[in-house]
Amino acid sequence: MTRIHQLFDAARAAHADRPAATDATGTRSYGALDDLARDAQRDLAAMGLRPGDRLLVVAENATALPVLLLAASRMGAVLVPVNARMTGPELAKIAAHTEPRLTVFLSHASDPARQHAGDARAVDLAGAPVHVAGPADVAPEAVLPDAAMTAVILYTTGTTGTPKGVMLTHGNLIFGGESSARLRGLEATDVIWGVLPLTHVFGLTSMLCAGLSAGAHIRLEPRFSAAETLAALQSDVTVLPAVPQMHAAIMAEARARGMAALARPLRYVSSGAAPLDPDWKRRAEAFYGIALQNGYGMTETTAGVTVTDNAIGDPDPSAGRPLPGVEIALDDSIGREPGTGEVLTRGPHIMRGYFRNPEATAQVLRDGWMRTGDLGRIDDRGRLHIVGRCKELIIRGGFNVYPPEVEAALNDHPAVLQTAVIGRPREGGDEDILAFCQLVEPGAATPEALAAHAAARLSAYKRPTRIVVTGAFPAAATGKVLKHRLLSHFADLLV
């Protein structure tokens, strides 16, 4: 295979009449999805899109987005999907950097997309009423004849707050989709709950590309709702890929309804995008009635680097072993404790580079390895344990403090939904440990009670200097907490 649409072609040939995708407009079969993609290819060409052009799509989850992905692949264009919930200035910055030939707003499925569309013209495209701007007078990228050509550009949230355009090739997405489908044992009979944003790598690769390659049915949801997800899990959904914050919200919703466990267990449930606390993992498995698989990856690695394959009840807190074909190593010159180091990885999952940013590309792609910026250790069974970010390591009284350990201790409190821990420099080169705790309901715990809880579980130098109780975090569309925004977001509470 040299193009991502070829992943879909085999499933379409074998399962033309089976459901492929469902959204608010209805369910489309694999045959119907293919027809829409071919029509969209023709329509986009008529609008001026050429091979090598960037196609910016402002969207929330809807069937039109995979249709446009397949259409772009067929014509050799580069898809740039961005979440419609971005602010106007954020979107404008990405558009200025990407220079798209056409911009499509999925206004039928997203009110924010309609607001961003402004005076763009209304058209029917990809089986939906959308808005389109362009064509702009821009230069296309060179079209490569093999899988090394860029298929999508995904803009990362970034820990620094400065998004970068990650160029993922057709080969990257084919490898990621096939690997995810194989590791999860996906089949055409599976129904995937598709609430992870398709504008982010976890949803795009591990959910969409994996599902379409297997001929599975993906139920697309534009936004996460714990109540709707809980209802879906009691109907026909068999596969739930999500992030820890989503799992926590689902279980909180179930507790509010007096439900201790799902009556209809899933076949496969996974968690990604954040460390997994062992005690929380145990509670989640008791609720779902099935093993909770963890993994590690990032946008630059097409989502997957390592994954677990544990039996239910296995206390393994790791992120698992490398995917077949993937290598990992540690740069122990970066680690500050024996056995730890910056996680390096190489293989067919590594991005082509950052779009129009050779300096940033050179910083992370060196000697064939991708430098992840994450601190980890590899145990004697070859399993990777993520202990923090290179830049998030907190130095307190000369000791190293890893935020995930402090977060796990606070998350163990029954009133806590999730926790984010960061360091704040103070005079003398030391750092304060700031913990932000989101509760399952307002007033469920006080900072003092949480401090006492942490004190019973953490050494003195690891205990938070300050605990802030909150109802919500600044977060990406995936639910991932944006730690780089915590200080400014809660500035009035930290004076």
Answer yes or no: are the C-beta atoms of 47 and 132 closer than 8 Å.
Answer: yes
Global confidence as pTM: 0.85
d(C-alpha 90, C-alpha 481), whole Å: 18
Closest CA to 464 of 414, 424, 415: 424
Looking at 3.90.25.10, 3.30.300.30, 1.10.10.10, 3.90.1150.10, the CATH number of the domain 394-493 comes to 3.30.300.30
Is CATH 3.20.20.70 correct for 224-389?
no
201 φ, ψ to 5°?
Answer: -65, -35
Q: Which two tokens stand for residue 295?
A: 């993994």
Residue reference for tokens 């929380």: 280
Is CATH 3.50.50.60 correct for 5-172?
no
pLDDT in tens, 130-181: 999 999 999 999 999 999 999 999 998 654 456 799 999 999 999 999 999 9
d(C-alpha 360, C-alpha 348), whole Å: 20
pLDDT value of position 335: 65
* Strand-strand pairing, 191-194 and 365-366: unpaired
d(C-alpha 401, C-alpha 388), whole Å: 9
d(C-alpha 282, C-alpha 298), whole Å: 25
d(C-alpha 200, C-alpha 371), whole Å: 20
pLDDT value of position 158: 52
Closest CA to 6 of 218, 177, 205: 177
pLDDT value of position 103: 98
* pLDDT-flagged residues of the chain (< 50): 159-160
**Residues constituting the chain:** 495
Report cis status (omega within 30 of 0) of the bond before 100: no
Answer yes or no: are the C-beta atoms of 422 and 465 closer than 8 Å.
Answer: no
Q: Which segments of the chain belong to CATH 3.40.50.12780?
A: 224-389
Q: Which segments of the chain belong to CATH 3.40.50.980?
A: 5-172
Q: Among positive and negative, which fits the CA dihedral 371, 377, 379, 380?
A: positive
